[in-house]
Amino acid sequence: MAEHSYRTVAQVGELIEGRGVCVEIDGREIALFFDEGSYYALDNACPHQGAPLCEGVIFDKSVTCLWHGWRFSLENGTWLDSPRTKIGSYPVRVEGDAIQICVV
């Protein structure tokens, strides 16, 4: 994967364990989560009615949308109640203190 495809979106220490934040890359909103020491990145807009998933509840490597309770895997974006449906999920890495997401 091309080196330049990773973009720095936050610094280590900025995220609260068990919470998400919304970051923007080239106009695209991405929800960045920090859970049990790992980072995950998903499309921020819930495919149901567009709620911001970054504000959802994290539990057992999933995020639950606050509006109507749809749950998505933090690891791969699968909608856990109907696994044939997925939202975008993106690789995350830490380089030094930089948290980087690959959006390509």
Which spans of this chain sit near ligand FES (rule: CB under 6 A)?
Answer: 46, 48-49, 51, 65, 67-70
- State in angstroms the smallest separation of the CB of 67 from ligand FES: 4
- State in angstroms the smallest separation of the CB of 98 from ligand FES: 30
* C-alpha span between 21 and 65 (Å, rounded): 14
Query: Closest CB to ligand FES among 25 and 67?
Result: 67
Query: Closest CB to ligand FES among 18 and 69?
Result: 69
- Beta sheet of 28-35, edge-to-edge order: 19-25, 28-35, 38-43, 89-90
* C-alpha span between 16 and 25 (Å, rounded): 21
- State in angstroms the smallest separation of the CB of 5 from ligand FES: 28
Direct distance between the N- and C-terminal alpha carbons of the chain, in angstroms, rounded to an integer: 9
Query: Closest CB to ligand FES among 67 and 86?
Result: 67
